[in-house]
Amino acid sequence: MEVDDGNESKPSASPVAFSSVFDPSNPIGFFKSAFAFASQMAADIFDDNQEDKMENKILSLLDDIKKRKREKKDESEEEEDAENKRLRTSEADTKKPSHDDPLPPNKNNGLDMKNYSWSQTLGDVMVQVPVSFGTKKKLVICDIKNTSLRVGVKGQPLLIDGELFQAVKVCESYWTLEDNETVTILLSKCNPWEWWKSVVKGDRGIDTSRCEPGLRRLDGLGYEAERHMRKLLFDYGQKCKGLPTSDNCPEVLQKFIVHHPYLNLPPQSK
């Protein structure tokens, strides 16, 4: 006689093989297949309540994996943006002009500086230094030497003080005070076929390849002031050499004009 103890086990179902293959390019697909297989197997083992709990845990795990993947992607993008920004900043710093980089010249082949402006032709360099309005000529310091220049006002720091870019002819160089507010200096180059990069060595220079030869008047001085200054320059140079001035020998000035057209000296009346 057989006794039924009520604990008779259910016949087990035939085992089902898991056939999904892990693809590194799509790990989520593999896990989905694995979780689907586990869920199917659990349906034969657990009751509905336990099956729902397992399914919720599996879905939560999938969401967590997706979340971590997004965070990792965001971190990677942030690192890439930071690296690109660093590279752009580095390139910008590399392209910043240094003090040694030449600047394009102004329209008169010179440069407008903080304390003065200057221009040039192949034969001379003109420097204009602003001073306080009402400055008297006796208070002006203008020391022109063969290779150096000092300009300023007594009792104040010098506005220009340094070695000239190239040597000048002192006897043919001159300065004047215009309208009691601008010291105008004319420097005669010893080498009349060379463009100057700067007036004083160490100051910011210009790109001399962009200089253009041509006639230049003394900008801003006016015709009469220009005529007066050029005549004084010529006479001063003649006196230094012990030669006749324009008053004593006008034909000498005419010859000077022919050989120095860039000076724009006005024609002398006979």
pLDDT at 211 over 70: yes
pLDDT averaged over the chain?
76
Phi and psi angles of residue 167, each rounded to the nearest 5 degrees, phi first = -70, 150
In a domain, 102, yes or no: no
Minimum mean pLDDT range among 44-58, 131-145, 204-218 = 44-58
In a domain, 15, yes or no: no
Q: Are strands 174-178 and 140-144 parallel, antiparallel or unpaired?
A: unpaired
**Both 171 and 233 in a single domain?**
no
| Residue with more model confidence, 171 or 224 | 171
In a domain, 159, yes or no: yes
Q: Check residue 74 and give its pLDDT.
A: 79
In a domain, 131, yes or no: yes
Q: Check residue 47 and give its pLDDT.
A: 55
| Residue with more model confidence, 142 or 23 | 142
| Boundary of a domain, candidates 168, 183, 210 | 210
Minimum mean pLDDT range among 180-184, 192-196, 260-264 = 260-264
**How far is 57 from 51, CA to CA, in rounded Å?**
10
**Both 231 and 145 in a single domain?**
no
Mean pLDDT of 211-239: 62
**Both 191 and 251 in a single domain?**
no
| Residue with more model confidence, 257 or 6 | 257
**Both 193 and 115 in a single domain?**
yes
In a domain, 103, yes or no: no
- Read off the pLDDT of residues 86-130 as tens digits, 9 standing for 90 and up: 777 766 555 555 556 889 999 889 999 999 999 998 889 999 999
Residues 6+ apart with CB under 8 A from 71: none
In a domain, 22, yes or no: no
Residues in the chain: 270
Tokens of 10: 């259910």
Phi and psi angles of residue 193, each rounded to the nearest 5 degrees, phi first = -120, 25
**Both 144 and 230 in a single domain?**
no
pLDDT at 199 over 90: yes
Q: Check residue 22 and give its pLDDT.
A: 63
Which CATH number covers residue 196? Answer: 2.60.40.790
Assign 217 a pLDDT band (cuts: 50, 70, 90): very low
Q: Check residue 98 and give its pLDDT.
A: 58
**Both 200 and 251 in a single domain?**
no
**Both 248 and 206 in a single domain?**
no
**Both 200 and 115 in a single domain?**
yes
Q: Amino acid letter at 173?
A: S
Q: Check residue 255 and give its pLDDT.
A: 65
In a domain, 256, yes or no: yes
Range of the domain at 143: 111-210
- Read off the pLDDT of residues 132-169 as tens digits, 9 standing for 90 and up: 999 999 999 999 999 999 999 999 999 999 999 999 99
Assign 225 a pLDDT band (cuts: 50, 70, 90): low
Please give the helix or strand (H or E) that residue 86 lies within, else none: helix 48-95
**Both 123 and 204 in a single domain?**
yes
Percentage of the chain with pLDDT > 90?
33
**How far is 127 from 115, CA to CA, in rounded Å?**
11
Assign 3 a pLDDT band (cuts: 50, 70, 90): very low
In a domain, 84, yes or no: no
| Boundary of a domain, candidates 169, 189, 210 | 210
How many domains are there within the chain? 2
